[in-house]
Amino acid sequence: MKSKVITILVLLFVTGTALGQDFKKVIEIVDEMETSLKGMISREQTERRNEIASLRSEVIALRQSLGTPRADRSDNIAVASASVEELTRRMDILEKRLSGVPQNADLSQLTGQLNTLVAELKRVISEKPSVAAQSKPAAPPPTASGVSYTVSGQIRDRGEMDGRSFVPEARALGFNLLRSRVAVLVKPSNDIQAFIQVQDARWWGGENAALGRGTTDGAAKALDFHQAYFAVADLFSSGLTLKLGRQELTYGNARLIDVSNWGNTGRSFDAAKIYYEDDTYAIHLFVSKLVASQTATPSENFQGMYATLRNLKPVMADVVYLLDDNTTELTKGPDQGNAKLSRATAGLRLYGKSAPWDFDVEYFHQYGRIALTDADARSSIKADLYSMNAGLTVSAASKMRIGAVYTILSGDNDPKDGSYRVFSTLFGSGHAYYGFMDLFPKVLGEYGLHDAILSWSATPFDPLSLALDLHHFRLDRGATFKDPTTGQFTEAKVLGQEIDLTTNYKYSSLVTFTLGLSMFIPGEAMQYKQGPAASYWGYLATTVNF
């Protein structure tokens, strides 16, 4: 019986502080235990001295062991609620009263306080369903066979107005992108799970453009498996987890490996991954096949190691080593018979937060061999990425933050000198780092990129958040252009400035509206390459999760 009392107190405490448990489960336990609790009080009056002392020590020990949620876990959810804060305050008072209960006191008063808190908790749940909805959902109950199932999904619609032509008085393009996902998670046991996610990605009216039938063509092919994998935890009692199949991969700050969620199709890999994680460190090893055939030997592959050291707080460190290749053999030139590409990326990232400051510094170096064409000799890869990011939280209440970022991607303006200095961002999230208009590093990327950013973000009130980014872009190496007016060749580096404004409104725990507006003012290099006119781009996205 004593353990049941402890269970109730601990569950209520966790609810009031972390909001990471299932409220319904708390109520179920309380309802089940209430009668037993009252019966225990009447039966154990003669033993209350040892019972109270033991209960007090166990509550303190459990509270210390619970600690606080890890800051590096993406599934931690912080929810502000005045009613829940009041519950937390009253629970602290109750615990203090428990520590001061006289050895011969009657526990009926304590029971009454506990019942009052339970009633208030029920009222909070009924009045604020969104609070419970934002918590991490509990695992579904198992079926009679012991297998549990979870069905989830997402529908995202994004309407865009695209005026990125740089041609004076050009008309903007308007279109809608629709992405629909449905997923099923199956857990035959606690250490085994299988996950299947089906995706349909399209634009409005674009079923089969070749036949011109639009949405009347019910036979068009757009469905695919975005993910289909199984995972085995604690493999051979080693603490390792094996994950095998088509899966999303994202690591660190997503600069080199990301799911590309902004894209309408996203990104997933046919991969095998094995990893180990604890509070001290995490290490992931993976191999993936990018392009391959059952009837041909050549393939494109991506593999590597990503490790995180967590015990250097307030500093954390990521150690990275990645390999990507294209084993297709060259058919011409001095390197005939050798592979087109063999590239390694190695680097270190240091990041952390010491309120009100935060920082993120990283360096990556790429080396190996690459052939730009079938007839060229392979060049030695010598490329680098440097990035420095610092931010200051001006107001914790409004989450107002100002920050500055400077990133350098090395480039090459002499591809025939035997050295290839163009840094590849591999499978990173370019949209998150190099401007929301997605111009770079695609445009003139062979010359490299310098990106200086001033950023501001705030949440003036829930559920509205705002963000403003100001970019100044220039090339790492000067590019040579022919002036169409004078016919003279000139070197230019300045690409221009981009302004990105993003507004996010969380309508509910399931529905989010996002509005984005961007403008690009071209510099000299961009005017020569794309055109002289300022360009713009905007979107309105609606995301529904279920």
pLDDT digits (tens, 9 = 90+) for 30-62: 555 555 555 555 555 545 555 555 555 554 544
Higher pLDDT, 435 or 203: 435
- The pLDDT value recorded for residue 192 is 95
Rounded mean pLDDT, 127-137? 42
66-97 in b/e burial notation, b at 16+ Cβ within 10 A? eeeeeeeeeeeeebebeebeebbebbeebeee
For residue 453, the cross-strand partners are 405, 471
Contact 23, 125 (CB under 8 A): yes
Residue 353 pLDDT > 60 = yes
Residue 532 pLDDT > 60 = yes
Best CA proximity match to 367, nearest among 351, 378, 377, 352? 378
* Percentage of the chain exceeding pLDDT 70: 71
Q: Tokens 């493999």 belong to which residue?
A: 235
Task: Report d(CA 477, CA 307) in Å as an integer.
Answer: 33
Residue 154 CB-density burial (10 A; 0-12 exposed, 13-18 middle, 19+ buried) = middle
Task: Report d(CA 412, CA 475) in Å as an integer.
Answer: 10
Residue 105 pLDDT > 50 = no
Q: pLDDT class for 483, splitting at 50, 70, 90?
A: confident
Higher pLDDT, 542 or 146: 542
Q: How many other CB atoms are found less than 10 A from the CB of residue 7?
A: 15
Helix (H, G, I), strand (E, B) or coil at 221: coil
H-helix segments, 481-523: none
Residue type, 409: L
Residue type, 307: A
Give me the sign of the Cα torsion angle 426, 410, 498, 459.
positive
Contact 504, 514 (CB under 8 A): yes
- The pLDDT value recorded for residue 39 is 57
Rounded mean pLDDT, 269-292? 95
Q: pLDDT class for 463, splitting at 50, 70, 90?
A: very high
- The pLDDT value recorded for residue 204 is 87
Phi-psi region of 435 (alpha: psi -120 to 50; beta: other; left: phi over 0): left
Rounded mean pLDDT, 516-523? 97
Taking each helix axis from N to C end, the angle separating 82-99 and 48-66, rounded to the nearest 10 degrees, works out to 140
Residue 69 pLDDT > 50 = no
Q: Tokens 């052939």 belong to which residue?
A: 371
Residue 24 pLDDT > 60 = no
- The pLDDT value recorded for residue 296 is 86
Question: Which of 3-17, 304-318, 319-333, 356-370 has the least mean pLDDT?
Answer: 3-17
Task: Report d(CA 464, CA 461) in Å as an integer.
Answer: 6
Best CA proximity match to 97, nearest among 121, 119, 85, 114? 114
Distances in Å between the Cα of 106 and the Cα atoms of 52, 213, 468 are 11, 79, 60
Contact 509, 484 (CB under 8 A): no
Q: Which two tokens stand for residue 55?
A: 């209960």
Task: Report d(CA 375, CA 330) in Å as an integer.
Answer: 8
Helix (H, G, I), strand (E, B) or coil at 482: strand
Interior CA angle at 329 toward 328 and 334, to 5°? 145
Q: How many other CB atoms are found less than 10 A from the CB of residue 322?
A: 22
Q: pLDDT class for 420, splitting at 50, 70, 90?
A: very high
Task: Report d(CA 214, CA 218) in Å as an integer.
Answer: 9
pLDDT tens-digit series, residues 178-190: 999 999 999 999 8
Q: How many other CB atoms are found less than 10 A from the CB of residue 296?
A: 9
Pairing of strands 419-420, 379-395: parallel
pLDDT tens-digit series, residues 184-243: 999 999 899 999 999 999 888 876 555 555 555 555 567 889 999 999 999 999 999 999
Best CA proximity match to 299, nearest among 307, 310, 287, 286? 287
Q: DSSP assignment of 454-514, as one string?
A: EEEEEEEETTEEEEEEEEEEEEEEEEEEE-TTT--EEEEEEEEEEEEEEEEEE-SSSEEEE
Residue 349 CB-density burial (10 A; 0-12 exposed, 13-18 middle, 19+ buried) = buried
- The alpha carbon of residue 293 and the mean position of all alpha carbons in its chain are separated, in whole angstroms, by 31
Q: Tokens 């991954």 belong to which residue?
A: 273
Best CA proximity match to 540, nearest among 175, 171, 155, 202? 175
Best CA proximity match to 416, nearest among 369, 448, 379? 379
- The pLDDT value recorded for residue 31 is 58
Q: How do the domains of the chain map onto residue ranges?
A: 2-134
End-to-end CA distance of the chain: 39
- The pLDDT value recorded for residue 485 is 83
The pTM score is: 0.72
Cis peptide bond upstream of 140, omega within 30? no
Task: Report d(CA 349, CA 316) in Å as an integer.
Answer: 8
Phi-psi region of 66 (alpha: psi -120 to 50; beta: other; left: phi over 0): alpha
Task: Report d(CA 285, CA 382) in Å as an integer.
Answer: 25
Best CA proximity match to 268, nearest among 366, 201, 363? 201
Residue spans of beta strands (DSSP E) within 117-191: 148-163, 173-189
Question: Which of 289-293, 434-438, 454-458, 511-515 has the least mean pLDDT?
Answer: 289-293
Sequence-ordered list of residues with C-beta below 8 angstroms from that of 239, at least 6 positions apart, any chain: 276, 278
Q: pLDDT class for 133, splitting at 50, 70, 90?
A: very low
Residue 357 pLDDT > 80 = yes
Contact 299, 291 (CB under 8 A): yes
- Residues in the chain, total: 546
Distances in Å between the Cα of 326 and the Cα atoms of 356, 420, 424 are 45, 16, 14
